[in-house]
Amino acid sequence: MHSIQDAKNNPECPELLLSVKNLQIRNAQQQLVQSLDFDLHAGETVAIVGESGSGKSLSGLAIMGLLAENLKASGHAFYHGQDLLGMSEPELQKIRGRKIAMIFQEPTSALNPLHTVVKIIGEPLLIQGMPKEKVRKRVYDLLCDVGISEPQELLNRYPHELSGGQKQRVLIAAVLALEPEVIIADEPTTALDVTLQSQVLNLLQLLILNHKMAMILISHDLNLVKKYSNQVIVMNNGCIEEKGTVQEIFNNPQAEYTKFLLDHDFGEANPLPTQSSLVLSLHRIAVKFPIKQGLFNRVKDYFVALAPLDLRLNRAESIGIVGESGSGKTSLALAISRLIDSSGNIFLLNQDLSRLKERKLRPLRQNFQMVFQDPMSSLDARMTVEQIIGEGLALQKLKPAEIDIRINEALQKVELSFQYRRSYPHELSGGQRQRVALARAIVLRPKLLILDEPTSALDRTTQQAMIKLLRQLQIDYEMSYLFISHDLQVVKALCQQVMVLKDAKLIEFQDTQALFDKPQHDYTKKLIAASQY
């Protein structure tokens, strides 16, 4: 088997699979993508990088024939001499998924919530006539390939029963099932921790090399782009700022915008206030889920999602929670938010939330809010931005004029233009949606904000802006943060303390600088090494 480095250094002229010429995308008001050109050869990866809203994902959707009805694409996208942009929908259906497949950015939206994992991945194989027994074995092998440690347990689970990282890997396995010739990977590793990102990209690269496939990698992670791409296209506001080989772009960037993307300093976390008070205290909090079997669905055992742990969080303090997918990070956040059952005690502002019924808990929820990892699935698609942000205020029976003022104030705080008040979530970029989710949380002025991977789907420039924004909001409102992330560089810039979870257990808890300077656990050392740029 060839190595990944062999693929990047292969001097032969491979077969041309896809040639995009003068691709342009516009809506009724403006041009969204202008004159995108590139060639994609077998065994090659072309990366498209840029800020949120730069046109990266739109370009991939245009090639697949999946643009929204209000968007129009022109130009050419030749696949083996056939122009994809000129094909009818029935013609595209014969190519889409089978010859050209797309790994979408948000797995929660892409996976069918009514189907189990084995059906999601295996359905196209069944349609092609593969026997049911072989399909189950093939699905098992694909789950192993994408890094699922115990795939047998996942086969009959539904998407809502998976962690964010597990959903992303199931989505990748579903795309790989039909062994397409071209893969368009739209932020394929945003939900994965740093230790699994390389594993998944290594798999994709080896498939590309050994099966004469090719990939368009849409990513904001310049570290991944540098490691896994041959050619790089830098986009800004729909225009190509610069393109060239990986070596040219990273060693000798010409455009000021490219230099700006490559130069990132997230800064340091806010200093702790001199006078502090306890906001959150956890005592032996733990989460376990029943495993039911048999005809009568009886509980046979329990799956431990989070082993008992203690935690204390003060006013205006940030604690980072890091660990690989399935380590218990999100289970901890949901338990604190009283969105799943847990054992132990949760004291918020000296009140034991774990002992309250929902009726008494509801008026206290304004004191603790959660910003979820996937804003597209956590925002109501039928509501406008102003309705989403104002919903919690309406429940407080505030006057319409006061609600209007508070909505504008929240939009201003998250640096989102008032013009988006009447927009719907699908009309916004990923970064804009995350700002709306943040505005919805802070409009209630909570004492505790739980952030579950709020920057994982954002490009580095937008991450930088979001971190700066969160630091300022913490100063303005004296909020306390529990910040869940697999990106240790982001955690370092926002949190004064870090706790590391692995296999549902707390394995290390230190001040942030001490953790980076002298990590105690081998796993922590591995995480830090993988996060270095």
3-state secondary structure 184-229: EEECCCCCCCHHHHHHHHHHHHHHHHHCCCEEEEECCCHHHHHHHC
CB atoms within 10 A of CB 153: 13
Radius of gyration from C-alpha coordinates of the chain: 24
Q: Which residues contact 360 (CB under 8 A, 6 or more apart)?
A: none
Number of separate helices (H) and strands (E) present in the chain: 22, 20
Distance CA 530, CA 290 (A): 34
Which residues in the chain are classed under CATH 3.40.50.300? 4-260, 315-340+350-531
pLDDT of residue 298: 80
Query: 174 pLDDT band (50/70/90 cuts)?
Result: very high
pLDDT of residue 411: 94
Spatial CA neighbour of 196 closest among 398, 15, 456:
456
pLDDT at 11 over 50: no
pLDDT of residue 12: 58
Strands 72-79 and 45-50: unpaired
Average model confidence (pLDDT) across the chain: 89
Query: 527 pLDDT band (50/70/90 cuts)?
Result: confident
- Cβ contact 493:508 at 8 Å: no
pLDDT of residue 191: 63
Cβ-in-10-Å burial (0-12, 13-18, 19+) of 364 comes to middle
Query: 85 pLDDT band (50/70/90 cuts)?
Result: very high
More confident: 35 or 487: 35
pLDDT of residue 324: 82
pLDDT at 470 over 50: yes
pLDDT at 216 over 90: yes
Mean pLDDT across 275-290: 94
**Torsion, CA 372, CA 32, CA 85, CA 110, rounded to 10:** 0
Distance CA 139, CA 121 (A): 6
Mean pLDDT across 181-200: 80
Cβ-in-10-Å burial (0-12, 13-18, 19+) of 512 comes to buried
Class (C level, CATH) for 315-340+350-531: alpha beta
More confident: 414 or 308: 308
For residue range 243-266, list pLDDT tens digits in order: 999 999 999 999 998 888 887 678
**How large is the angle between the packed helices 460-477 and 430-442, nearest 10 degrees?**
10
- pTM of the prediction? 0.74
For residue range 284-343, list pLDDT tens digits in order: 999 998 887 777 778 778 889 999 999 999 999 999 999 887 789 989 999 999 999 999
Query: 166 pLDDT band (50/70/90 cuts)?
Result: confident
- Cβ contact 502:524 at 8 Å: no
- Cβ contact 59:217 at 8 Å: no
% of the chain beyond a pLDDT of 90: 61
| CATH number 3.40.50.300 given to 4-260 | yes
pLDDT at 172 over 70: yes
pLDDT at 464 over 90: no
pLDDT of residue 341: 92
Q: What does the buried/exposed string (b/e) look like for 260-293 if buried means 16 or more CB atoms within 10 Å of the residue's CB?
A: ebeeeebeebbeeeeeeeebbbbeebbbbeeeee
pLDDT of residue 457: 66
- Cβ contact 234:59 at 8 Å: no
pLDDT at 394 over 90: no
> First-to-last CA distance in the chain?
28
For residue range 342-390, list pLDDT tens digits in order: 999 999 999 999 889 989 998 899 999 999 877 888 899 999 999 999 9
Beta strands in 60-113, from DSSP E residues, in sequence order: 72-79, 82-83, 100-103
Mean pLDDT across 431-457: 90
